[in-house]
Structure 1
Amino acid sequence: MKKSLKLFIVCYILAIVGMCFLPQTFYPQLNSIETPGIQHFGRITAILTPFNTLVHFGKIPSLWDVFVVILQNITNIFLLFPLVLAILLLRRNAVKLSKVVLMTFCMSLSIELTQVILDLLFEFDRVFEIDDLMTNTLGGVIAYQTYRILRK
């Protein structure tokens, strides 16, 4: 079981690298969607407004764009969920929620900062989003609750 979980973790980290670090031009169908609230700082693009989708909901131009933006938020909730759950399942001793929140937040922040660095070095057209930090961390909390249920 441990070997399988470790293999899953390695494979999932590779999947995260592909999803989060490939240039946005790799996903051409999403290039036309401009999320309201985007700010540009030279080559760095960021959305620094917490709950940006809710704050700018009325500015999203079409129903399709609304669907894609909401789907991106849901996807971000579950981006780190499998990885955090697998890590928790590998641990033998009890883990506190506060440590899981910190671990997941740090993973998410690492992803966002790496995207900024890639934008600076190679113009990957990635966006640093405060909401990604919150939704990824929420996914870690859900993984923790799932872990607690599975342990019982």
Structure 2
Amino acid sequence: MLHWFPFCGYFLIALVLTINAFSRYQQFSKRLTIFAFLCYFVIILRLCLTPVTFSFITANRNLRYFHGVPYNLLPFQQLDLEWFLNVIMTIPLGVLLYLVGRKSSFITVLALSFLFTFFIEGNQFVCDFLFHIGRVADIDDIITNTIGGVIGFYGIKLVDRGFIDKIIHPFFLS
């Protein structure tokens, strides 16, 4: 049961922050955006910070170990399905970042995507060390997730023209 502590702890923090954010916005559409953030964060937590008994890693990587905790600091050892799935996994992050600040600069989007990814990978390493959740902190994940966030942001920015703007405008938090 201790293996689930990181997920449960972060879930409670996210829930409190969501309730707090709800008090700032009265419009249903803005609350829906905040709820989407909560759902996305919980899904990412479930995918990345819960214990696993199997591995998604399909490639043979040259892993290093720190007190039994595996990690990879050598990027691009092999391009595999996991690499592309990590990009896809964080495209919604970019879309949500766009709803928060659609006039953000490239550096801001890159930095926020990187920090979110670094938070997840850093937590995987620490939580595996403390709670043995069976995860691997991987530099490829940091790179691919950051790319996914940037793609999501600029992908939605490309389609935010004309009638699409009218559809998504109520969901902007800024």
Aligned residue for 1:2? 30
The 8 Å contact of residues 95 and 153 in structure 2, kept in 1 or not, is answered as yes
CA root-mean-square deviation: 1.9
Q: What is the CA deviation profile of residues 43-67 of structure 1, one whole-angstrom value per residue up to 9, with x for unaligned ones? A: 221111111215xxxxxxxxxxxxx
Flag the 1:104–1:32 CA change in 2: closer, same or farther, 3 A.
closer
Structure 1 unaligned spans of 5+ = 55-69
Q: Distance in 2 between matches of 1:34 and 1:71?
A: 9
Runs (4+) of structure 1 exceeding 6 A deviation are none
2:24 is equivalent to residue 24 of structure 1 = no
2:150 to 120, 124, 141: 141
Q: Distance in 2 between matches of 1:144 and 1:8?
A: 15
Q: State the TM-score, normalizing by the size of structure 2.
A: 0.70
Q: State the TM-score, normalizing by the size of structure 1.
A: 0.79
Flag the 1:150–1:14 CA change in 2: closer, same or farther, 3 A.
same
Q: Which amino acid letter does the alignment assign opposite residue 45 of structure 1? A: P
Aligned residue for 1:66? none
Aligned residue for 1:62? none
Listed as ranges, the matches of 1:39-58 within 5 Å are 39-54=64-79
Q: Which amino acid letter does the alignment assign opposite residue 49 of structure 2? A: F
Q: What is the CA deviation profile of residues 91-132 of structure 1, one whole-angstrom value per residue up to 9, with x for unaligned ones? A: 3x5111110000000000000110111111111121111111
Aligned residue for 1:58? none
Aligned residue for 2:129? 120
Q: Secondary structure at the match of 1:46?
A: strand
User: What percentage of aligned pairs have identical amino acids?
Assistant: 28
Aligned residue for 1:75? 85
Q: Distance in 1 between matches of 2:38 and 2:110?
A: 21
The structure number with the bigger radius of gyration is 2
Alpha-carbon shift at residue 4 of structure 1 (Å): 1.8
Structure having greater relative contact order (Cα 8 Å, sep ≥ 6): 1
Q: Which amino acid letter does the alignment assign opposite residue 117 of structure 1? A: V
